[in-house]
Amino acid sequence: MPPPSRLRRLLLPPGTRRDKIAWLAKLSVGKMREGPGPWLRAVRRGLFDALPQGLKARIVRRRLGAQDYATALQHPNAGFDLEQPGLISVILPVYNQADMLAASIESVLAQTHSHLELIIVDDGSSDAIDETLARFVSEPRVRILRQSNQKLPKALSNGFTFARGQYRSWTSADNQMEPEQLAVLKDCLEEDPTVGLVFSDYTVIDAEGAPLRGSTFRPQNRSSPESAELRLPRDCSALNVLQDNFVGPSFLYQGTVGRCLGDYAPTLGVEDYDYWMRIGAEFGLRHLGSDQLLYRYRWHDNSLNARARELRLFEIGRELMAHEAERAKWRSAPWGTSEKRLHAIDPKQQEHAPQLDQPGSYAMCLWGPDPELPFDRPQLFEDERIGHFTAHPQVANSLALFSDQVWLVPEGEPMQRLARACANERLHFLAHNPLAERSRRLPSPWRAEGKPQQLLLLIEDFAQGKPERILLDQVAELRQRGWQVRLCVAKSSEAGRDRAAAAGLEYLHTADPDSFARVLERKSIHLVLSQHCLLGAAEAKQRQIPFVQILHNSDLLRDPEAIQAYREADAHTHAYLCLSRELARHSHLRLGLPTQKLVLAPAAVAAPIPAPGAREGRQDFSAASPGEAAAAQGRAAEAAFELDDWGRRLDCCLGWFLQGGGAVAARPWFAAKHRIDAR
């Protein structure tokens, strides 16, 4: 008698209809053993697919309401700081998968579409991940962030906070992209820019990277038990109606869509499925339309799909479908009722935001062609339920200095449609994700342990005055965070040398570009932070050392010759830190500096000047009344806290510049609404 395996091949030849029917029957029995839920879900999906197209469309319209996707995404991106044309932002969250991380990173960097940025978010790993990260930190397209463990949804949201691509995607440390994935998906979105997201078929691999044969993973999308190719539905109408997260890991969506939807849901447990349904409802999504396999998804013991029963993914998915049904009713409810109000703000006539007392209130601020007006309306940027819409690129770039809720879109129906989508998603998300659950702490730029960064502080001279006191505060904060700080002056003096020695600073003097270049090389400088001095900007740029300028209020009073010098040095300057809103206005509109290099970094309260008789850095309040002493101590404590907070933000910003990150993406670290994760 032949062995069982040979007998099976005789009765059920591989690849035949009998083989597939037997395989599906076996899987059905397995599903029934799991309980009626998974089995009934598969039956419902099969019945839905068998319905005529017209009937399926009516079912979807009844669930989602009539949607017009075509006008929401028709807008120009050229010259918009928040969405760099053609750039693809890829986020890679990782937690304790150091053994597979390098292959995943290399697959992103090997893309045929090379205009990309890869933002890796280490979500508090405890394995040997630093060895892998150190290999890629100097790669120009890679940025590496680290945070204490906040789980996958917040790791994704944090990564996309710093993304500036026209298109977005994310991948996992245990999976790999095919070289042409991003190029093919991007071409599809460019051919049909009215679609929010496009996805493709993919290959399933095992723990060793070989094609996975004979598994139980998504049998409805495989042609046979031995096939490792996942052929996904071309008809996407069932995504929001039937429980089946078929979009898969190979996808690309528009940056406008991602900024409109905002954060991934922090507590649902199926954050990707929830996000795809939101995109499908507001903007539409589609299959690539070809059989190209653009991704390698790894099925192993620790993958989410392999642990589906343990993680209760079916039950969580069922809860998500109920959540989506409720959300669909919210979307289809008319505006202008007590539950949903959409306010329009004309900033020329209205300096302050309206009172958005009702939970369902959202305001769209409609900005005209004046690029200076955003600098005069700070109150309009304080509420996250206000979106900023304009048809003028220069105004959009001014707005982006103060908020990431900015959209460059043609006036009329496209603007109205996008505003309604933003309002729907933002208000529903805020209502169903309490502040304590959705709050997240921003990560910090990764740095190698035991390797202090060499920072050169460049100034004209080191005289005694308020700018120098602020400078010493900055030095103390950066030293506390591991920076090796040296002082370099263009004009030397004995008094300045003595003050530097008293502060424990190495004092260097460079009178010309050549001597400055020698300092950069001899001291192995990693970053130059300049105040009121443009000496050596070109020399730093030639050596790929970021040259960052801090702009103070004294920079407002510059003569024409000095202004011209600033403009000439701009080609060699990596970024400008503007310590006030007025400085940002002056830098852009008067000095002519580009907005994409500006970071609004409101100055912290300077540390109090020690009073006579102060001991150990503390002021002596013994001569004051108890009330005066308590008030003075309170002010001193508040100043110290603000200075420490500002120092933490400055540390992150400079660390980002060291990795080659730009100024626009660094702005969130100075946004008051964000807290920063402790190192």
**DSSP bridge partners of 367:** 390
565-579, 588-602, 636-650: segment of lowest average pLDDT: 636-650
The 3-state secondary structure of 584-653, one letter per residue: HHHHHHHCCCCHHHEEECCCCCCCCCCCCCCECCECCCCCCCHHHHHHHHHHHHHHHHHHHHHHHHHHHH
pLDDT band with cut points at 50, 70 and 90 for residue 650: very high
pLDDT at residue 569 tops 70: yes
pLDDT at residue 32 tops 60: no
Letter for the amino acid at 589?
Answer: L
Cβ neighbors of 53 (< 8 A, separation 6 or more) are 235
Residue 659, classed as helix, strand or coil, is coil
State how far the alpha carbon of 145 is from the alpha carbons of 101, 106, 175, 656, in Å.
15, 18, 20, 9
Residue 297: burial class (beta carbons within 10 Å; 0-12, 13-18, 19+):
buried
pLDDT at residue 216 tops 90: no
State how far the alpha carbon of 459 is from the alpha carbons of 316, 408, 473, in Å.
58, 39, 15
**Contact yes or no for 440/158 (Cβ under 8 A):** yes
| CA pair distance 264, 24, nearest whole angstrom | 35
**DSSP bridge partners of 198:** 252, 286
pLDDT of the residue at 606:
42
**Could you read off the pLDDT of 105-149 as tens digits, one per residue?**
999 999 999 999 999 999 999 999 999 999 999 999 999 999 999
**Could you read off the pLDDT of 415-451 as tens digits, one per residue?**
999 999 999 999 999 999 999 999 999 999 999 887 8
**Which residue is listed with tokens 């419902």?**
44
Q: Which CATH architecture has domain 84-332?
A: Alpha-Beta Complex (3.90)
The arithmetic mean of pLDDT across residues 467-487, rounded, is 86
State how far the alpha carbon of 668 is from the alpha carbons of 127, 236, 271, 647, 674, in Å.
29, 35, 23, 14, 7
289-298, 453-462, 633-642, 661-670: segment of lowest average pLDDT: 633-642
The 3-state secondary structure of 435-484, one letter per residue: HHHHCCEECEECCCCCCCEEEEEEECCCCCCHHHHHHHHHHHHHHHCCEE
| CA pair distance 265, 288, nearest whole angstrom | 26
**Contact yes or no for 14/226 (Cβ under 8 A):** yes
State how far the alpha carbon of 665 is from the alpha carbons of 81, 162, 177, 263, 383, in Å.
9, 5, 25, 16, 21
| CA pair distance 204, 174, nearest whole angstrom | 12
pLDDT of the residue at 604:
61
**Could you read off the pLDDT of 273-288 as tens digits, one per residue?**
999 999 999 999 999 9
| Among candidate residues 344, 330, 359, 346, the one with its CA nearest the CA of residue 416 | 344
Domain boundaries defined on the chain: 84-332, 341-441, 452-676
CATH assignment, 452-676: 3.40.50.2000
**Contact yes or no for 580/599 (Cβ under 8 A):** no
Element housing 323 (H / E): helix 313-332
The arithmetic mean of pLDDT across residues 48-57, rounded, is 59
Q: Give this prediction's pTM.
A: 0.88
Cβ neighbors of 449 (< 8 A, separation 6 or more) are 130
Residue 613: count other Cβ atoms within 10 Å of its Cβ. 9
Give the rounded distance of the alpha carbon of 612 from its chain centre.
Answer: 48
| Domains 84-332 and 452-676 equal at CATH topology level | no
| CA pair distance 155, 60, nearest whole angstrom | 32
pLDDT band with cut points at 50, 70 and 90 for residue 665: very high
**Contact yes or no for 198/189 (Cβ under 8 A):** yes
